[in-house]
Amino acid sequence: MSNLNKLNFTALEVSRRNYLKWVQNMKLYLTAKGIRATIEAPTNDKPVDEAQKATAIIFIQRHIHDALQTEYLTEDHPRTLWLALADRFDHQKDIYLPEARHDRQHLRFQNFKFVNEYNSKFCRIRSLLKLYKVELTESYLIEKTYSTFHATNIILQQQYRA
């Protein structure tokens, strides 16, 4: 009985802070269980049986916040619940993409005390941009790093470019 109360990953919060991570975890889990088709558009070649739908709806309901469980209690099909949650929470691109672009534009190597801090911040920005299908070439990334050097370090820029 205690296994039933364990969560496989963090539940979706009402504040939508963890929506992107939750969606990725949910898709991976449903794929691993072979029931991802329950949340996708129906196709004739892969019919979904009622047991798979029930398993998916139970799993999704267990991994959302209690307030959301109550709100979406009447949803009895995993796809309709999935779409309802997406309609409510999937506005992250509107928020995070401009923020990531701004951070990328204003990221400066000199603003960090340690190289690891700069790399960490840069990797976070890069992964957010990748998530939203904004590709950054290696030459752009290298040039961006060089361009963030302070003007007094122009010799370092030239040495690294050579």
Chosen domain end from 38, 63, 89: 89
Cα(131)–Cα(86) distance, integer angstroms: 16
Instruction: Name the CA dihedral angle for 100, 106, 111, 113, rounded to a multiple of 10 degrees.
Output: 30
- The domain tally of the chain equals 2
What's the helix, strand, coil split of the chain in %, to 5?
Answer: 65, 0, 30
Query: Which tens digit of pLDDT belongs to each residue from 58-83?
Result: 999 999 999 999 999 999 899 999 99
Whether 101 and 141 map to the same domain: the answer is yes
Residue 32 lies in domain: 2-89
Query: Which tens digit of pLDDT belongs to each residue from 108-124?
Result: 877 888 889 988 988 88
Q: Assess contact for 38 and 110: CB atoms under 8 A.
A: no
Mean pLDDT within 4-26: 80
Whether 71 and 14 map to the same domain: the answer is yes
Chosen domain end from 45, 74, 89: 89
Whether 6 and 74 map to the same domain: the answer is yes
